[in-house]
Amino acid sequence: MQVRRLEITGAFEFTPKSFPDHRGLFVAPFQGEVFAEATGHPLQVAQTNHSVSARNVIRGVHFADVPPGQAKYVYCPRGALLDVVVDLRTGSPTFGRWEAVRLDSTEFRAVYIAEGLGHAFAALTDDTVMSYLCSTPYNPAAEHGIDPLDPELALPWDELDGEPVLSEKDRDAPSLAEARAQGLLPDHESCLAHYERLRRTP
């Protein structure tokens, strides 16, 4: 498996090797030993999520309070999507920046999004499936969102071939500036301290 550390601290891209033959294909999108070597800690999986999206659906930008936050390891077992990691940690040198990775059922790349980072994606095909390994269970009281169409973020939705389709909750989410003013965003130093605790946990 190939590993690429993204420019935003706490985000990684993993590209597994696939094994096609006359029967079909085998691939292991998540490999615990490789993950732990790359990040410095194992991934504790408390919940798995599975979403199906029509073409042009955007989900996110979602994040959770830190601590404990919610880290995600995501991949696309069917279809194709544009996965976006956004640095929402106030005080971070890359605050407000984003990185995008295409995930699909051809190469089975995966992205790890550490606690405190924002996550969004756009489905590029109908019936696109996203699989998530989550470090903590869903906690509605600690979950937040940023408007994925916020002009300040300028996320790369130009790859869509139609009007974006959003949930009412995502469409009504605050802008980055509004969320910062409301004190909703994670603190960079607190997130780094959390990552260090993860590395120290046996």
Q: Which of 62, 144, 188, 194 is labelled catalytic?
A: 62
pLDDT confidence of residue 159: 86
> What whole-number distance in Å separates Cα of residue 123 and Cα of residue 148?
14
Mean pLDDT of 11-31: 97
**Residue 202 CB neighbours (<10 A):** 4
> What confidence tens digit (pLDDT) does each residue in 122-168 have?
999 999 999 999 999 999 999 999 999 999 999 999 989 999 999 99
Q: Which of 22, 73, 112, 132 is labelled catalytic?
A: 132
CA dihedral 171, 175, 180, 182 (to 10 degrees): -60
132 is a catalytic site residue: yes
> What confidence tens digit (pLDDT) does each residue in 46-92 have?
999 999 999 999 999 999 999 899 999 999 999 999 999 999 999 99
41 is a catalytic site residue: no
pTM: 0.96
